[in-house]
Amino acid sequence: MSDCKKCRVMFAEALYEELNAEQKVFFKDHLLLCKKCRTKFEKMASTLKIMNQRIRPEPGEAFWNGYQTSLAKRIKEEEILGAKPESWVRTFIRTLSSAPRWSYLTTAALVLVIIGVFIGRMVFSPSVSELQQGQQISSITSQAESRIELVNRTHNYINRSKLILLAMINFDPETEDPYALDLPYQKQISRELVQEASFLKGELADSDQRRLQNLVVDLEVILLQIANLESEHDFEAIELVKDGVESRGVLLKIRLTDIRQFIKKRSKTEPDAKVSHELRII
């Protein structure tokens, strides 16, 4: 420990003259040599001197005559209060009674608002589990609606394609006028259906509608052939389209799809074992 630190530790004892002979010698010698320590000690001594000059008023004879009685009464009151603490209701009422009128009116309004919010949450707010169930139901409903919309859109594509194929198959160039076929119109519709097929294939690939997806692919190939017919008198190309329809069994597949759809609709309105058996066979 340095001499300065050792000296400053002795400040309090030096002020109250509690240093021994050896410490006094060291302390005085150090103050003579160190101006910083001497200045600090002088300031402390000056502060202590000012504090000692304060006048402490002494209570009069009347105070001391009633002191014992007042002290006993106060001790008794504190014992009673300690044994029976004040209830929070009385404390609250006492606080309000001592507060200005606007403060307890504001407090009462705040309490009513808090109670109203609490009741509203308890009565009208759904629980976490109810919210989760609602979200799950909403998600399932949305998926089911999307699937129904996709299936309906696919069947609309199939029905439009079937009309094109029937027009081509039923056309007999030996007995009918080529203009009766209205090939430009058939080609235009076929192009639109080819574009629709490109969308349906991707959507059906992500679902379990494999039969519908395969039928859409077969129809796309044939419709692409019709869309690329060069002229109304290209009878050889028209015959190739007819052969493709027959070899792929497209009309049969369309017929089976129509039957499945009919059975599914019937099973929803008239569910029985016979309908389920027919659906499994098909």
- pLDDT single digits (tens) 42-78: 998 888 888 766 666 666 676 666 767 777 787 777 7
State the DSSP H helix or E strand holding residue 152, giving kind and residue range, or none if neither: helix 128-169
Tokens matching residue 231 = 């002229």
Supply the pLDDT for residue 147. 79
Residues ≥6 apart with Cβ < 8 Å to 23: 10, 13
- In this predicted structure, the answer to whether residue 103 has a pLDDT above a threshold of 80 is no
DSSP structural state of residue 84:
S
Tell me the two tokens of residue 69: 């009685």
- Enter the tokens of residue 98: 């001592």
Q: What are phi and psi of 134, to 5 degrees?
A: -60, -40
- If DSSP codes are grouped into helix, strand and coil, which group holds residue 177? coil
Q: How far is CA 150 from the centre of its chain?
A: 30
Query: Where residue 245 falls among pLDDT bands split at 50, 70, 90?
Result: confident
Distance (Å, rounded) from C-alpha 51 to C-alpha 146? 90
- Choose between 174 and 39: higher pLDDT: 39
Residue located via tokens 């198959």 = 169
Mean pLDDT of 86-92: 59
Enumerate the domain spans of the chain: 3-49, 132-281
% of the chain residues with pLDDT over 90: 8
Among 112-126, 196-210, 243-257, whose mean pLDDT is lowest? 112-126
**Which of 126-130, 146-150, 260-264 has the least mean pLDDT?**
126-130
What is the identity of the amino acid at 208?
Answer: D
Asked whether the whole model's pTM tops 0.85, one would answer no
Token pair for residue 223? 């419709």
Q: Rounded to a whole number, what is the largest CA-CA distance in the chain?
A: 146
pLDDT of residue 279: 47
Please measure the distance between the N-terminal and C-terminal CA atoms of the chain and give it in whole angstroms. 104
Give the chain's length.
282
Q: CA nearest 160: which of 220, 248, 213, 229?
A: 220
Cα separation, 201 vs 256, whole angstroms: 19
Report the C-alpha dihedral over residues 231, 233, 239, 242, rounded to 10 degrees.
60
Listed in sequence order, the DSSP H helices in 170-272 are 178-181, 183-205, 210-227, 235-248, 250-269
pLDDT recorded at residue 223:
84
Instruction: Indicate the DSSP class of residue 58.
Output: P
Out of 167-181, 200-214, 266-280, which region has the weakest mean confidence (pLDDT)? 266-280
Closest CA to 157 of 220, 106, 203: 220
Q: What gap in Å lies between CA 225 and CA 244, rounded to an integer?
A: 10
At 13, the amino acid letter reads E
Tell me which residue of 195, 99, 203 sits closest to 151, measured CA to CA: 203
